[in-house]
Structure 1
């Protein structure tokens, strides 16, 4: 069940930060590529991408989260639709070392972020441990209780559920934002930019010819757990419909309540 909270961490309750190699694409600098824009021009390009993504409000995403070190290393892949302002998501989870480590867990599952919480579909094999409840609910900040592992899991929640316009705004405001030059991954061509985020961590964004982000990579060291979180997100179909609804309350079990139940057992 703790591992499922990490799965939820890839889409839940985000305030920014996270990262990895692009799911399905590799970053390759074009031959002879070099930075040609000044820091001011780089910041202007990122601000323009911020304005476009803010207006779009949503996009289709393909994400790969990896966590190295700490007490909960592993990785998961996510595909689906993500929205921002407010943050919401409806994603399929697969290729997950966390799911693979849980007896009775599905090979792939669904994760929904709505309001201030993220919900993981447990599948039929785990409902006996939850009193018949199908959905595990993880609330923003609700898991932190001082334990080192819980601090790491909460850091994952903060790191991974992207509020893309917010992150672009933070990057554009960085005094160290810089142009890396043209890049190509598969058939995608873009201009790459990177910089440090105010809360710590590093962000790289590829911006396509149409001014929209193609890919982001965010690396963050999680406080307390000694873990490095990397989240790579590929974007497409900006403005895609994102009609996300939370599961019925009667079908959910809160993560903290589940821990208490398991502890009593």
Structure 2
């Protein structure tokens, strides 16, 4: 197995599990915004920027109090080096950030011989763990769980920086992101959603301080229905994370795997290099 295959798979899975989403489906802000609004039909906004910011702040307060939710996430990475995507479902918590997610429909897993079609990622205590399944333990020294520290993994490696660098900046803590959006001087009301799950919701969008673009749809109950976080880089790389939320306050008893059954990502790369 090549080092690049491990990098692509582990980086993308870890990035999404950490739930730190930035994205950019197309070059420039205009392309990003067009893609971000594709899932809901909205009428022209009628709220002023002040009213829009107030609505987003109210959603921030509700999400903060809930502390967790059921999520369905889709991560897409664009660019010449490591394009692909993965879908994640499970429970996400914030303050501190934690997650227990099933991974499927993953182009990164599909690239690795012996990897499971579906797997699990756990984020706890500042690290992300990817269940590699039994088929890969011969290459991991018998360890089933791959441990990825996003900052450590990205340090000094161009591909890892592409896949995780932007993701760790936003640290997709839902209340934090909503707070940043509410504080944006250009938060915009998109109007009411008129299709499917978006009926009865109101859409808002704006650029966060780090240049990331965010869109949120807020339901009639004041809780977020969906967020889309997007960014694109000058080198053509892009990342997008769409997250659908339900069952706010869902139990999130997330625990890290036993230390004796984990292998650090950087140690694995050294092991593969020696091989």
TM-score (norm 1): 0.92
Query: Does 1:55 find its partner at 2:61?
Result: no
Determine which structure has the larger helix proportion and give its number: 2
Alignment correspondent of 2:39 = 27
Q: Given that residues 27 and 184 in structure 1 are in contact (C-alpha distance below 8 angstroms), is that contact kept between their aligned partners in structure 2?
A: no
Q: How does 1:147-166 map to 2 (within 5 A)?
A: 147-155=157-165, 157-158=167-168, 162-166=172-176
Structure-2 change in CA distance of 1:212 and 1:13 (3 Å) = closer
- How many residue pairs are counted as aligned between the two chains? 258
Q: Deviations over 1:181-218 (max 9, x none)?
A: 11134243210000001011210000000000000011
Alignment correspondent of 1:107 = 117
Q: Tell me, which stretches of 5 or more residues in structure 1 are unaligned?
A: none
Distance in 2, Cα, partners of 1:241 & 1:62: 16
Query: Aligned to 1:34, what secondary structure does the other structure show?
Result: coil
Q: Equivalent of 1:256, from 261, 266, 270?
A: 266
Q: Equivalent of 1:66, from 76, 101, 104?
A: 76
Structure-2 change in CA distance of 1:139 and 1:255 (3 Å) = same
Q: Given that residues 113 and 119 in structure 1 are in contact (C-alpha distance below 8 angstroms), is that contact kept between their aligned partners in structure 2?
A: yes
Query: Aligned to 1:72, what secondary structure does the other structure show?
Result: coil
Q: CA RMSD in A?
A: 2.0
Alignment correspondent of 2:28 = none
Q: Tell me, which stretches of 5 or more residues in structure 2 are unaligned?
A: 1-5, 26-31, 33-37
Alignment correspondent of 2:228 = 217
Alignment correspondent of 2:131 = 121
Q: Equivalent of 2:50, from 20, 40, 56?
A: 40
TM-score (norm 2): 0.88
Structure-2 change in CA distance of 1:165 and 1:175 (3 Å) = same
Alignment correspondent of 2:204 = 193
Q: How does 1:68-83 map to 2 (within 5 A)?
A: 68-83=78-93
Once the two structures are TM-superposed, the CA of residue 159 in structure 1 deviates from its matched residue by 6.3
Query: Aligned to 2:252, what secondary structure does the other structure show?
Result: coil
Determine which structure has the larger strand proportion and give its number: 1
Structure-2 change in CA distance of 1:109 and 1:156 (3 Å) = farther
Query: Does 1:206 find its partner at 2:197?
Result: no
Once the two structures are TM-superposed, the CA of residue 240 in structure 1 deviates from its matched residue by 0.2
Distance in 1, Cα, partners of 2:142 & 2:73: 30
Q: Deviations over 1:228-259 (max 9, x none)?
A: 10110000000000000000000000001111
Alignment correspondent of 1:168 = 178
Q: Given that residues 11 and 163 in structure 2 are in contact (C-alpha distance below 8 angstroms), is that contact kept between their aligned partners in structure 1?
A: yes
Q: Equivalent of 2:14, from 8, 20, 29?
A: 8
Alignment correspondent of 2:29 = none
Q: Equivalent of 1:93, from 92, 103, 119?
A: 103
Q: Given that residues 70 and 245 in structure 2 are in contact (C-alpha distance below 8 angstroms), is that contact kept between their aligned partners in structure 1?
A: yes
